[in-house]
Amino acid sequence: MRKLIPLPLWDRVGVILLNLLALGVVVVYLFPMLFMFVTAFKTDAQMGDLDAPVYPARRVTVEIEETPEPEKEPEDAQQQEAEAQPTRESSCGLVPCLSGFGSTNSDADSDSEKADEAPDTPQIKTYDVYTAPDPFTGEQWALIKKGRKASTVANIETLDAPFEWEGQWRSLEPVYEFELTTSNFTADTRFDFWKLVGNTMQIAIFSSIGMVIASVLVAYGFARYPLPGGRFLFFVLIATIILPEKITLVPTYFTFVRVLDWNETFLPLIVPHLFGSAILIFLLRQNFMALPSEIEQAAMIDGAGPLRILWSVIIPQSIPVIMTVLLLHFFYAWNETRMAVLYLTSAQELHPISMGSASGYDDAGVRQAQALMTMIIPALLLFIAQPVFMRGVKVTGNQ
Amino acid sequence: MSLPLAKNYFTLMQTRTVPRKSPSFRRYLPGLLLISPWLIGALLFKFAPIIASFTFSFTDFMMVSPDDIDFVGLKNYGQMLTDRNTYTALFGTIGFAGISIPVQMTAALLLALLFKHEKVFGRKIYRALIFLPSIVPGAAIFAVWTGFLDPGTGWLNQLILLPLGFPPYPGPNSEAGYNFYIILAALWSIGPAFIIMLSAMESVDKHLYEAARVDGAGPFYRFLHITIPIISPAIFFSLIISVVSVFGGAVLMDRSTTFQAGQSPFDALIFRQMFEFGRLGAASAYAWVLFMGVMLLVIWLFRSAVHWVHYPDGEGA
């Protein structure tokens, strides 16, 4: 078709449409990931606030310095005043300034607090800021006194002239300001990032290296050497891939915990991988078989043994697939939780990071922040290794 | 191709060392030594446990009293058959597999088709980005979906469905809502399948497409008659991974906590017997039934593969 009617314009439009489609698909696909990021930077208060915008934000408040009417019980209040003095010094008086999220003042709690304060010293009160009901004026009001029918409000530009506004204050829209909070990343003291990474690294590195060495050897054996009942053995290999894990779970668990006493050690998470992984052996074998065999034969005539040939002929030609297999297993080991839960639950100090981030901290923001921290290292690896990851890896070819 | 090559090695080796005593053992020795790590591992961690598990399933083996085991015959199996939970879990698992496997396969294939196109700029970055959700830890994924799908504050309703004028998502507690949740969660785990299919598609000889195009074959025809047959082993490979993962294995990815509430209810059943009641015997019986079911399914898949999986050198599966 293209040969007959060369339409460069149509081609260009097609390419643009194709790229828009690709971009759209990626954006939609990663949308929940955006949710993770945004949630990780939201405060707990915003999560419970139904009016809050979708982006991380906090309620804008304004502080007003005012002298309240004198009240009783001065002795008690004097003490509190002395403690609170330094913070007042740093506050910003009549200038609208920002303070903590959702620090609503007018509810019963803060009122009773204020009653305890000293009588004649000027004190700072914090008020929420709302958009004025007529949006065209662009005014923002500080809600000073909430009432059922009418509330006292003040324009935040002037603040010194509060006036009565007739209307329901709940119908006003609060003003929010974009702000990232990083407290979620440090909130959970049990989530000791470096300790967890250290544990996970021990598990992932030992099991990945052992797994790769064993898998390369086994795959090379399957690809190039005669075996008794070779096709049958290979079928058994495939069969072990498709074994449901539960069938081996009971005896393995019993042996590891009761016989070998490996409970609360990393061994149950590492040792089974030192014997190679069937699915990765399969991937490696398919790729070894696709390599041309002339160099190997030449090397063999020169008297090189199997390991020598593997090391200096096969492996140099198979770096991408070996890297791929290494990464796949590393990602697996990094996020592995089911075995970790089985053997390490009671040993808090041995938890890998995948368990640390599942520690049940019941705050959505903290949870997503921990998930992001858990992902940092695998994600970096993925993007660094992206040029070789799964490039030209074959699953085709004879079985 | 493997066999002739192996024969060459054999003859080469024979010329160097003349075998006298047991020629066949000598011939197999290097291969056996090389695969011995896997062989030992499989015996220790696969076959021995399978047989042990089979034996346990006829006993009243309890976690707390491992020294006091009695043979109870088929009691565990009988109890399983009379338990109503078994059937709920079984149908739940089958329904879950019936939705998530086709969704995953189709999505991975279509995405691979889109991102293998040379005219898509930055497709190397896209490839990593599509894989990225597959390394999100399972616990976080569950939190992502519960937050994202929340009927009141979730992004799905707030940012997508309601602004576009669709009816709001009712939350994962209704039947349709649950199925939708399963589909979304399955879509977010396609990383390995996607990468495998993409890699296979990129290895297809471009001359084939060129030739077909000259002969007047349209894109759909080319996809159906060139791409699909050539990458069929990759599709088959991904399918097997998908099937095994759905039925409670961990292949290439661990998503155990993703669906703790929902996925593979049969798994949950086994776990309950094992850790809540400590009844290892009963748990083994349940696991054996699951094992037989998955094995039958996989054997059927391998048999069907003869008809639709295409191997270039004519050797079947």
B237 and B288 together in one domain: yes
What's residue B107's pLDDT? 93
- Convert the pLDDT of each residue in A168-188 to its tens digit: 776 777 777 777 777 777 777
For residue B31, list chain A residues with Cβ-Cβ distance below 8 A: 221-222, 224-227, 230
Specify whether B8 is located in the same domain as B129.
Answer: no
Examine the domain organization and report whether B97 and B199 are in the same domain.
yes
Q: What is the pLDDT of residue B95?
A: 84
> Is B132 an 8 Å CB contact of chain A?
yes
Q: Which of A353, A203, A341 is nearest to A272 (CA)?
A: A203
- CATH number for the domain that contains residue B257: 1.10.3720.10
In a domain, B246, yes or no: yes
B285-294: average pLDDT: 86
Question: Do residues B199 and B283 both lie within one domain?
Answer: yes
The pLDDT score that the predictor gives to residue A103 is 41
Average of pLDDT values for B205-228? 85
CB-defined contacts A:B, below 8 A? 331
* Chain A contact present for B117, CB below 8 A: yes
B220-249 residues touching A, CB cutoff 8 A: 230-231, 233-234, 237, 240-241, 243-244, 247-249
Residue B40: what pLDDT? 92
| B41 to A272: CB separation less than 8 angstroms, yes or no | yes
Q: Is B64 among the domain residues? A: no
Beta-strand ranges (E) seen in chain A are 57-59, 61-66, 123-131, 140-145, 150-155, 163-166, 173-174, 176-178
* Residue A156: CA count within 13 A, CB half-sphere: 23
Token couple for B62: 């309890």
Residue-number span of the structural domain to which B246 is assigned: 78-136+188-308
pLDDT at A68: 59
Please report whether residue B163 resides in a domain.
no
Read off the pLDDT band of A360 (50, 70, 90).
low
- The residues, ordered by sequence, that sit 6+ positions from A118 with a Cβ below 8 Å of its Cβ are A74, A77, A78, A80, A81
* Cβ–Cβ < 8 Å for A164, A152: yes
- Write the pLDDT tens digit of every residue in A267-311: 998 999 999 888 889 888 888 887 888 888 888 888 888 888 889
Pick the residue of B3, B62, B135, B235 with the most A CBs within 10 A to test the interface with A by mutation: B135
Q: Do B28 and A226 touch (CB under 8 A)?
A: yes
The answer to whether residues B85 and B45 belong to one domain is no
Q: Which residues of B touch A397 (CB under 8 A)?
A: 233, 311-313
Where is average pLDDT lowest: A15-19, A375-379, B18-22? B18-22
Residues B87 and B209 in one domain: yes
Indicate if the pLDDT at residue A101 is higher than 80.
no
Q: How far is CA A48 from CA A52, A185, A392, B153, in A?
A: 9, 19, 49, 10
Amino acid residing at B161: L
Q: Do B3 and B132 share a structural domain?
A: no
Asked whether residue B13 falls in the same domain as residue B124, the answer is no
Give the helix ranges, DSSP H, for A259-388: 267-270, 278-289, 294-301, 306-309, 315-317, 319-335, 338-344, 353-356, 364-384
Q: Please answer yes or no on whether A398 and B1 come within 8 Å at the CB atom.
A: yes
Q: Is B162 within a domain? A: no
- B15 and B99 co-located in one domain: no
Domain spans in chain A, listed from the N-terminal domain onward: 8-40, 44-181, 193-384
Please indicate, yes or no, whether residues B45 and B95 belong to a single structural domain of this protein: no
Cβ of A249 under 8 Å from any chain B Cβ?
A: yes
Of A46-50, A125-129, A372-376, the least confident: A46-50
Classify A193-384 by CATH class.
mainly alpha
Q: Which long-range contacts (CB under 8 A, 24 or more apart) does B177-185 make?
A: B177/B149, B178/B262, B179/B99, B181/B145, B181/B149, B181/B262, B182/B96, B182/B99, B182/B100, B182/B259, B182/B262, B183/B99, B183/B100, B183/B103, B184/B145, B184/B149, B185/B100, B185/B141, B185/B145, B185/B258, B185/B259
Chain A CA closest to residue B197: A395
Q: Are residues B95 and B236 in the same domain?
A: yes
Pair B92, B5 in one domain: no
Per-residue model confidence as pLDDT tens digits over A21-76: 999 999 989 988 888 888 888 877 777 666 677 777 777 777 777 665 555 444 44
Count CB neighbours of A112 within 10 A: 9
